[in-house]
Amino acid sequence: MTIGSILTDMVKIFIKYWDVFVLQGIMYTLLLAAIAVLCGTVIGALLAFGRMSRFKVLRAIIIAFVEVMRGTPALLQLYVGYFLVPMLIPDMNTMPSQLMAFICVAVALTFNTAAYVSEIIRSGIEAVDKGQTEAARSLGLNNSTTMVSIVLPQAVKNILPALGNEFITDIKQTSLASTFFVGELMTSYKTVVGITYNSLSTLFVIGVLYFIMNLILSKGLKFAEKRMKAHA
């Protein structure tokens, strides 16, 4: 087997099964990652504010949750989601099994992302110079006005780039969902290999696709970051 033959196999496989890779694989991967990042950011923001609140019990619960999510494998969390979500929502069992698996995995990825995002948001807020808060409070502004007018607009500049990286991480993490055949890019690989029996070339095809997605994303993020800095 030569490099040349691998390359030609890759091209052949992509041309023959491009719809499985692109229309199904990439689409589900992006959808899953987008759901995880969007919902995860909302929940992560709530967690971050809960963690900075003055309610001790709430803080302790959130810290425990975040540490558990960061200290256990994502694949394990997907398994837990896969079995736990249908137990909590029994109606789900009437759904087509692929849809059910997709929802379970999306929920698990969302909570995984929420844990990481809550840390991103918290450290983004804490990275804003304490002097900014002190100056605002010394003028008689209350805590929430200070947060909304002064701290958050500055924290967003720390948070957005890290959030973009989390999106890239999530795109790579969705590959774990192939364990449950939810249809994302790694599932496409399994489908195609089942027909072609050409593992290496198929792997390289989806590898290139993952790489291109993340390359476009990270270039886009760099560009957005630059523009944001220019307007600061």
Partner 1 sequence: MLEIKNIYKYFGSHQVLKGISTEIEHGQVVSVIGASGSGKSTLLRCMNLLEHPTFGEVWMEGKLLTPVDPYLHFDVIRASKTYSKLISEGMSDDDAIAKIKKEDLLHEKYNAEGKKYRALMKKIYDENHIDINIARQKMGMVFQQFNLFNNKSVIENIMLAPVKIGIAEYRAAVRRNNRIRLSNVFRKDKKPLIGLPDDPSAVKLKAEENARALLKRIGLSDTANQYPSTLSGGQKQRIAIARALAMNPDVMLFDEPTSALDPEMVGEVLDLINDLVKSGMTCVIVTHEMGFAREVSDRVLFIDGGVIAEQGTPEQLFNNPQNPRAAEFLSKVLR
Distance of closest approach, residue 167 Cβ to partner 1, in angstroms: 25
The length of the chain is 232
Q: Between 87 and 139, whose beta carbon lies closer to partner 1?
A: 139
Helix (H, G, I), strand (E, B) or coil at 127: coil
CB 154 within 8 A of CB 123: no
Give the span between the Cα atoms of 213 and 126, in whole angstroms: 32
Out of 19, 67, 126, 129, the residue judged to bind partner 1 by CB under 8 A: 129
Give the span between the Cα atoms of 57 and 130, in whole angstroms: 25
Give the span between the Cα atoms of 111 and 10, in whole angstroms: 36
127 is an interface residue for partner 1 by CB under 8 A: no
Instruction: Look at residues 171, 183, 182 and name the one whose alpha carbon lies nearest to residue 82.
Output: 182
Residue in the block written with tokens 């990042």:
37
Sole window of 22-30, 135-143, 190-198, 209-217 interacting with partner 1 (rule: CB under 8 A)? 135-143
Residue 197 region, left (φ>0) first, then alpha (ψ -120 to 50), else beta? left
Distance of closest approach, residue 147 Cβ to partner 1, in angstroms: 12
Binding mask 142-181 for partner 1 (x = CB under 8 A): x--x---xx--xx---------------------------
126 is an interface residue for partner 1 by CB under 8 A: no
Distance of closest approach, residue 162 Cβ to partner 1, in angstroms: 18
Out of 125, 136, 147, 182, the residue judged to bind partner 1 by CB under 8 A: 136
Distance of closest approach, residue 191 Cβ to partner 1, in angstroms: 50
**Residues engaged in binding partner 1 (CB under 8 A):** 129, 131-132, 134-142, 145, 149-150, 153-154, 232
